[in-house]
Structure 1
Amino acid sequence: MRIAMVSEHASPLAAPGGVDAGGQNVYVARLTEELARRGHDVTVYTRRDSLDLPDRVPLPGGAHVEHVPAGPAETVPKDGLFPHMPTFGAHLARAWSAERPDVVHAHFWMSGMAAQIGAGPLGIPLVQTFHALGTVKRRHQGEKDTSPPERVGIERQTGRTCARVLATCTDEVVELGELGVPPSQVSVVPCGVDTARFTPAADTGRTPPRQYRHRLLACGRLVPRKGYDQAVRALEQIPDTELLIAGGPPADDIPADPEARRLLKLAARVGVAERVRLLGAVDPHDMPALLRSADVVLCTPVYEPFGIVPLEAMACGVPVLATDVGGHRDSVADRVTGRLVTPQDPGAIADAARELLADEALRRRYGDAGRARVLQHYTWARVADGVEQVYGLTRADHELSLSGEVA
């Protein structure tokens, strides 16, 4: 099958952890790699953000990344890319006129917009994964939401008119229903994790030396919605414990980062500054070892469309303490692989953390159960199985509709 992936701001070549580089980058990269290994012809279309980038770059397994000229060839915050999507879509239309894909899979709402421009006139079926919905972001961020005002309307239009929406969690199906997308048009396939890389077994990765009896670890983009401030506030009630936060700019640039400064000021104000360490961007090679070095991995966002960090932690056999939001409700089994707590409640985080830290046997049991859960539901092979089924269903429905038009 010839598959076109569209991921306008999240290149599979980017290192996760930056402001606009996170789970979507990992999802597109790993899914593409797995599909290519199965013999599919996969091309990922992402925006050119540097003049130094080649037009096409090979990926492991035989897929390729194509850099699309749309807007300036420099880094642009994703919320500033909207005006360049018509140019992006026009490029796709030209490319697909010359070499038509069997199915297009768009990632994020702006990719959906560009993909419809490219695929619509050619009659190519479009599968849409939003990864995050503007309605949810607006609900939680209010006036701080920097998304273009057109976002929700385009998401509504894309969701209703594409061939199928591929959601990553059951919570998203409800949100899509509020946009008028019927559940019958939505398939749920979760994100995955590399279980050969993220394992309970020790490796050669580097980890910071432990300075207190217990270690809590939080990972991801250094942005307010990730809720690291809630973890810092909770730490005040968790004695003899350090909190490491991995993600954001390189370590040398942490002092200049606005969110880092906010968190460090908060830590000083609540009296835990000496127990909070911001690591900045961590070498991907070191991430499994860093996760294993923690007694508990914290995932405390205000909202989370899916969340890959819980899967990585569970794959490493480490219990997860997560907020009861979004994709966490699917991936983290409360009191089986970890704990789910009310969002924006430092007291609840502290209570659950103290319970876990006080019982090593409980942590080990949760960790073992987490690894088993990941192997059963969240390997990239299982994810690719589900995505292939969605593609097959989409193509069959499309061919059926064409035969009906001919009849």
Structure 2
Amino acid sequence: MSPDAAVIDLQPARHERVLMLSWEYPPVLVGGLGRHVHALSVALAAAGHEVTVVTRHADGAPLEEYADGVRIVRAAEDPVTFPLATSSLLAWTMAFNHTLTRAALRATETGGYDVIHAHDWLVAHTAITLGEHLGLPLVTTIHATEAGRHQGWLPEEMNRTIHGIEHWLSNAATRVITCSGYMRDQVTTLFEVPAGDVDVVPNGVDDRAWHARPRAVASARARFAGDGPLIGYAGRLVYEKGVQHLVRAVPYLRRRHPGLRVLIAGDGPYREELVDQARGLHLHDTVRFAGFLDSTQLPAVLGATDATVVPSLYEPFGMVALEAAAAGAPLAVAATGGLAEIVEPGVTGVTFPHSDPDALAGAVDQLLADEVFARRVARRARAMVGERYGWATIAARTAGTYAAARRAHLTGGRLARARPGERRRSIEIPEGNLLAMGGAAG
């Protein structure tokens, strides 16, 4: 277990009553956030905590229900609707927070709570309003930062506004949770939150769900592999995921390993550019873009690979690395962000500097050229996932943060910064490179 675990009370004195806020929760799943909040809520409920999740409504879903031990309250969209698109994201978010706040207040009419837990900037206005209105400690999880997603640059008004909201939410919270030491450094540097007020609680994974049956693995290999090794990637197809560097490394790897195939699972706005890149390198017979694969398909596909590559430029945590490890895939990951904290070179996988196709090719070649080594690091990685990242452990650490937030709230703590009627310092967002100015880890 990491040293960060030592500062968190793993045995809170009582069961917590948690009001959790998230803009996505099943059946609304946009990215990894909804799956994280669902798994965490269920694990907390299984440990005896009372959890209410207030979230966005979806067509056909009930406005309120109990599922997996969790009370779910969904905020119906108001009659005056805003499109959920990039150009109108801020307007949509403000409208969403109005209906989310009303739904959360309705939830409090039939139950008392000890702590509010907000997930990311899209619920900031509701979270801070509830904290002040109800007089409760606020815990917020910062899953990623706008500055980090854009390598430190905030070129547009929308980017700068989101950064400002992240700053505001982080400083209004009684305690902040980040998924890695890398993200803790970003929060303390970019948002000026004292390191002692930030708890590192990694994301969890249900390793059993990623153990595919041998027959399914064999079927996936027959479908996607050729006469040589199979390399895999799974995730969103956006620039910061670094898939362009994986594609650039393929010609070298193909010369070294005849019959090699590369499977890219996922979708996103960068897909067409990646397809064009592969076509320009004459890789149409080698690189296959499989599109989105769901949770019933992906474990077998990852388990069938001889190496799964995570080439991210920016990665707050690196969930796909844990999932691939749980599936039994040998890992080659960029030594950046949370990935560098998951994979120990030569022990649970291999690493390479991000944005370096030659180094990426060398790392993958190390796995493909030595099957005994590749299988050894894969076994160790799978064991590591079960030992460190099970949801019961993650829920216990999160509950420890709740207990610490309650103590801080009772003694004044950081909540004093966010009390009603007090004047807050305005947040000025510079035009330049925030990460370079602040010296955040990268």
Q: Same fold (TM over 0.5)?
A: yes
Q: Secondary structure at the match of 1:222?
A: coil
Task: Using the TM superposition, give the Cα deviation of residue 84 of structure 1 relative to its aligned residue in structure 2, in angstroms.
Answer: 2.0
Check whether the contact 2:73–2:107 (CA below 8 A) recurs between aligned residues.
Answer: no
Find the counterpart in structure 1 of residue 311 from structure 2: 300
Find the counterpart in structure 1 of residue 26 from structure 2: 12
Check whether the contact 1:97–1:122 (CA below 8 A) recurs between aligned residues.
Answer: no
| Deviation by residue 1:191-224 (Cα, 9 ceiling, x = unmatched) | 0111122237636476234224111111112322
Matched, 1:246 2:251: no
Check whether the contact 1:167–1:189 (CA below 8 A) recurs between aligned residues.
Answer: yes
Distance in 2 between the 1:146 and 1:231 partners? 32
Q: Secondary structure at the match of 2:52?
A: strand
Q: Given the superposition, is the C-alpha separation of residues 75 and 134 from structure 1 closer, same or farther in structure 2, using an over 3 Å criterion?
A: same
Matched, 1:123 2:135: yes
Find the counterpart in structure 1 of residue 162 from structure 2: 151
Check whether the contact 1:200–1:315 (CA below 8 A) recurs between aligned residues.
Answer: no
Task: Using the TM superposition, give the Cα deviation of residue 85 of structure 1 relative to its aligned residue in structure 2, in angstroms.
Answer: 4.6
Distance in 1 between the 2:100 and 2:132 partners? 10
Q: Secondary structure at the match of 1:150?
A: helix
Q: Secondary structure at the match of 1:313?
A: helix
| TM-score of the two chains, using structure 1 as the length reference | 0.88
Check whether the contact 1:3–1:43 (CA below 8 A) recurs between aligned residues.
Answer: yes
Check whether the contact 2:82–2:95 (CA below 8 A) recurs between aligned residues.
Answer: no
Distance in 1 between the 2:361 and 2:61 partners? 46
Find the counterpart in structure 2 of residue 166 from structure 1: 177
Distance in 1 between the 2:245 and 2:95 partners? 36
Aligned length: 387
130-139 vs 294-303, which moves further: 130-139
Check whether the contact 1:51–1:74 (CA below 8 A) recurs between aligned residues.
Answer: no
Distance in 2 between the 1:137 and 1:88 partners? 28
Distance in 2 between the 1:75 and 1:204 partners? 40
Task: Using the TM superposition, give the Cα deviation of residue 130 of structure 1 relative to its aligned residue in structure 2, in angstroms.
Answer: 1.3
Find the counterpart in structure 1 of residue 421 from structure 2: none
Q: Given the superposition, is the C-alpha separation of residues 90 and 379 from structure 1 closer, same or farther in structure 2, using an over 3 Å criterion?
A: closer
Task: Using the TM superposition, give the Cα deviation of residue 75 of structure 1 relative to its aligned residue in structure 2, in angstroms.
Answer: 7.0
| TM-score of the two chains, using structure 2 as the length reference | 0.81
Task: Using the TM superposition, give the Cα deviation of residue 317 of structure 1 relative to its aligned residue in structure 2, in angstroms.
Answer: 2.4
Distance in 1 between the 2:157 and 2:67 partners? 32
Q: Given the superposition, is the C-alpha separation of residues 38 and 73 from structure 1 closer, same or farther in structure 2, using an over 3 Å criterion?
A: farther
CA RMSD of the aligned region, Å? 2.5
2:120 counterpart (108, 112, 118): 108
Write out aligned runs for 1:79-90 (5 A): 79-80=89-90, 81-90=92-101
Q: Given the superposition, is the C-alpha separation of residues 328 and 286 from structure 1 closer, same or farther in structure 2, using an over 3 Å criterion?
A: same
Distance in 2 between the 1:74 and 1:42 partners? 30
- Which amino acid in structure 1 is aligned with residue 67 of structure 2? L
Find the counterpart in structure 1 of residue 368 from structure 2: 357
| Deviation by residue 1:254-311 (Cα, 9 ceiling, x = unmatched) | xxx7422211110011121211111112121122111100011111111011121100
Distance in 2 between the 1:338 and 1:362 partners? 9
Distance in 2 between the 1:140 and 1:268 partners? 31
- Which amino acid in structure 1 is aligned with residue 323 of structure 2? E
Whose RCO is larger (CA < 8 A, sep 6+)?
2
Q: Given the superposition, is the C-alpha separation of residues 373 and 69 from structure 1 closer, same or farther in structure 2, using an over 3 Å criterion?
A: same
Matched, 1:229 2:229: no
Distance in 1 between the 2:285 and 2:152 partners? 31
Q: Secondary structure at the match of 1:284?
A: coil
Find the counterpart in structure 2 of residue 42 from structure 1: 51
Check whether the contact 2:302–2:328 (CA below 8 A) recurs between aligned residues.
Answer: no
- Which amino acid in structure 1 is aligned with residue 276 of structure 2? K
Find the counterpart in structure 1 of residue 378 from structure 2: 367
- Which amino acid in structure 2 is aligned with residue 242 of structure 1? R
| Deviation by residue 1:34-55 (Cα, 9 ceiling, x = unmatched) | 111122221222222x443321
Find the counterpart in structure 2 of residue 379 from structure 1: 390
- Which amino acid in structure 1 is aligned with residue 390 of structure 2? T
- Which amino acid in structure 2 is aligned with residue 103 of structure 1? V
Q: Given the superposition, is the C-alpha separation of residues 170 and 307 from structure 1 closer, same or farther in structure 2, using an over 3 Å criterion?
A: same
316-325 vs 195-204, which moves further: 195-204
Q: Given the superposition, is the C-alpha separation of residues 237 and 47 from structure 1 closer, same or farther in structure 2, using an over 3 Å criterion?
A: same
Check whether the contact 1:226–1:300 (CA below 8 A) recurs between aligned residues.
Answer: yes
Check whether the contact 1:51–1:73 (CA below 8 A) recurs between aligned residues.
Answer: no
Q: Given the superposition, is the C-alpha separation of residues 26 and 203 from structure 1 closer, same or farther in structure 2, using an over 3 Å criterion?
A: farther
Q: Given the superposition, is the C-alpha separation of residues 367 and 73 from structure 1 closer, same or farther in structure 2, using an over 3 Å criterion?
A: farther
Check whether the contact 1:89–1:118 (CA below 8 A) recurs between aligned residues.
Answer: no
Find the counterpart in structure 1 of residue 194 from structure 2: 182
| Deviation by residue 1:303-344 (Cα, 9 ceiling, x = unmatched) | 011121100111122221111111101111122111221111
Distance in 1 between the 2:325 and 2:158 partners? 32
Q: Secondary structure at the match of 2:297?
A: helix
